[in-house]
Chains A and B, each alone.
Chain A
Amino acid sequence: MIHLNNVRAGYSTADGFVAAVDGVSLQVEDNEILGVAGESGCGKSTLLKVLYGHFGGSLSLASGSVHAEFYDAESGETVTHEGHQLHKLWWRKLSYIPQGSMSVMNPVARIEAQLIEALPPAILQRGGNSVLEEIKSFLSELNLPVSVLKAYPHQLSGGMRQRVMIAMACFFYPSLVLADEPTTALDVVVQKNILLLLKTIQRRQKNALVIVSHDLGVHYQVTDRIAIAYAGKIVEIGPTREVFANPLHPYTRALIESLPRLGERSLRRGIEGRPPDLASPPTGCRFAQRCSKSEDICRQISPELIDRTQKHAVACHFS
C-alpha cells in the first residue's frame, strides 16, 4: 500500500529546517485502521501529510522515499506512485480529511453542490443525476439524512458537517483515507458517532484508514494498529490491543498509565519535562531526558524501531 522508507520531512523556518518527521519508516496495509498517536509537536499531522503526498507547499521531503501501490479495479493493474506524484491520486484513490475541516466548507454553497464539485471527472462522467442518486443511497446506507444535501453548511451542526465531510471523502471508495484529528473539538457523544461511522465505512469498503489523534482512548476503541509518535519519530508500533496491554516504550507506558479511568482513583502521574525542540533535537534517544530508565547509551545512540514480538516494534535500548 504505502511504504515510507526513512523519511525525513519538514518545514523551512527562520531557524533552519525543522524535521517534523525525522527518519520514519512505516507501512500502511490494505484493509486496516492505523492510528497515529502523539502529543502536540510530535509530527503526527506532518506524517499524515507525507502519506498524502502533500509536498510543494511549505512541506518538503528532505530525504527518504514515499512509495504507494494501489490496485486499480477498472484496469486490473497495480499502479505505483512516488511521493511527489501522489497528488495525481487525490480524490481518486486517496482522500484527506484535514483538522477542523468542518469549518472549511464554502458557506454560500449548498452541500450538494460542494459534494459534486469535489468529485473526480471519472465519476462525474456517469452523469449528474445518477451520481446524485448514488450519493443519496450512500448517505442513507450510513444513516445520514438525505436532507443534508439541500442544506447550507451553517444550518448543520459541527458534528453533522464532519459526517458530511467524511461522506465526501469516502464516497468514491478511496483506497486510503487519511483523517487528521477527526473528532477534536466535538462533544464526546458526537465523537463516538463519528468514530463508529468511520469504522463502519472502513469495514464496508475494506480500504486503509489512518487516524491521527492525541486521544489514546479514541485509538483504543477504533484502531487495529497504533503507532506512537514522539518528537518526530515513531517510538512504538503494533496491534492496538497488544500495545495497550503491554506497552514496551517508557513513553507509551507513562502515557497510558497517566490516564485516569472511570471507576478507580489510584494516583496517576504526568510526565515531567517536555518534548525536545524539533529545531534542534538532542543526540541519542529523544525521550532520554524525561525517561526514568535512561542511561548513557540512550543519550548517545538513537534507538532503532525493531520488532520485539510479532509485529510489535519499539525503539528503545532497554525493552
Chain B
Amino acid sequence: MSPTDPLLEISGLSKVFRRGGLFSRERIKAVDDLSLVLPNKPSVCAVVGESGSGKTTLARMILRLEKPSSGRIMIGRSNVFGGDTNRLPDLDFRRLVQPIFQNPFESYSIHLPVDFYLYRTAINLGQATELEDARSVVDEALQSVGLELERVQGKYVHQFSGGELQRIAIARALIPKPRLIVADEPVSMVDASLRMTIVNLFDEIRKTLGISFVYITHDLSTAYYVADQIVIMSQGQIVERGEPGQLIEAPNHQYTRILMDAMPQIGVRWPELDTL
C-alpha cells in the first residue's frame, strides 16, 4: 500500500435482503449505494445511526461476514470481495482487519477460558510459533489495554465484567497488528462507568499503534468525543458526514438535527418540557 492509497475505500455499496418465504418479492435495502473513505493516516471514523439504519450490515460487510449485493470495498489495493486475482486470502485479511463485537458476553464460548482466543490469535495470526512466544505476545497485548495476564489466565466469561471482556476483545484484536479495527457498538452493552475506559483506548491505540477504527454506534456523544470523522446513517444511506465540530455546530441534514435534539443531554433541558 502506498501512502497515498486510502486505507478503506467503499464505493457504491448496497445490500438487499429478501424477506418472507420462497416466493416473496419483498426486498429490504439495508445498505443503499453507500460510499465512504478512510485515509491512510490512522483515524477513527464513527458511523452513527439508529436501529435499522444499516450500520451493522455495513460493519459486517467490511468484516467480510456478509456479501454485498453490489459495490466494492477496498482495503488498500485489495478488494475485500474481489475476483480470484484481487481477493485477499483469508489469513491475510484477518491480519488486516479485526472486529470488536457488541455483546461482550456472547463473544466467547462459555466452555473455554477467555484467554483461549488470545493464544490462538497469537499462534495463528501473531508472530508466535511456540507457546512461550505466544505467552509474551498475549501478555503484551493485555498490558496495552490495562490488564494483567495473571488476572485473566484460565478464567471464564462469567468471571469478568462487560468492560473487562471488551478490553480483552480489544487486546485480542491488537495481536495481529491490524490496520483497521471494526467495532460494532462496542460499548452499548457496557455499564456507563466502564464505558469511557474503552472509548479512550480507541483514541490511545490510534495514537500509539497507528490503527484506524470504524466505530459503529447509536450514541452521538461518544462519537463526537472520539472520532475524527462522523458519518450519520439513516435507512441505508449516509445522510451527513463531516468533522465532529462542524457537524454539531452546523448540521446540514434534518435527521442530524432531530438526532441531536432527541439526545437526553445532561445540562441541556429539552425545551418541550417547559410546556408540560
State the A residues within 8 Å of B (CB). Answer: 39-40, 187-189, 191-192, 195-196, 199-200, 203, 214-218, 220-222, 244, 254-256, 258-263, 265, 267-272, 274
Contacts and interface: CB of A to CB of B under 8 A. Distances in A.
B266 A244 contact: yes
Contacts of A214: 191-192
Given A196-B272, A270-B198, A259 B50 contact: no
A214 B187 CA distance: 14
B265 A262 contact: yes
Contact of A192 (B197, B218, B264, B269): B264
Contact of A187 (B51, B222, B265): B51
B217 to A, nearest CB: 11
A262 B48 CA distance: 14
Contacts of B200: 267-270
Interface string B220-243: 111011000000000000000000
A269 B273 contact: no
Contact of B270 (A192, A256, A263, A271): A192
Interface in B256-276: 258-267, 269-270, 272-273, 276
Nearest to A254: B193
Nearest to A266: B225
A188 B273 contact: no
B16 interface: no
B161 interface: yes
Contact of B262 (A191, A268, A274): A191
Nearest to A221: B264
Given A40-B162, A199-B276, A220-B265, 9 more contacts: A187-B50, A189-B50, A217-B265, A221-B264, A254-B193, A255-B192, A258-B196, A260-B221, A262-B224
A248 to B, nearest CB: 16
A191 B199 CA distance: 24
Interface residues of B, number: 39
Nearest to B189: A40
Contact of A189 (B262, B270, B276): B262
A260 B225 contact: yes
A216 B193 contact: no
Nearest to A255: B193
Contact of B218 (A188, A244, A256): A188
A199 to B, nearest CB: 6
A163 to B, nearest CB: 16
A222 B269 CA distance: 9
Given A217-B266, A262-B248, A263-B248, A268 B193 contact: no
A259 B266 CA distance: 9
B225 A274 contact: no
Contact of A262 (B164, B194, B220): B220
Closest 8 CB pairs of A and B: A217-B264, A270-B197, A260-B225, A39-B191, A187-B50, A271-B193, A270-B196, A274-B161
Contacts of A196: 270, 272-273, 276
B266 A265 contact: no
Interface string B160-204: 011110000000000000000000000000011111111110000
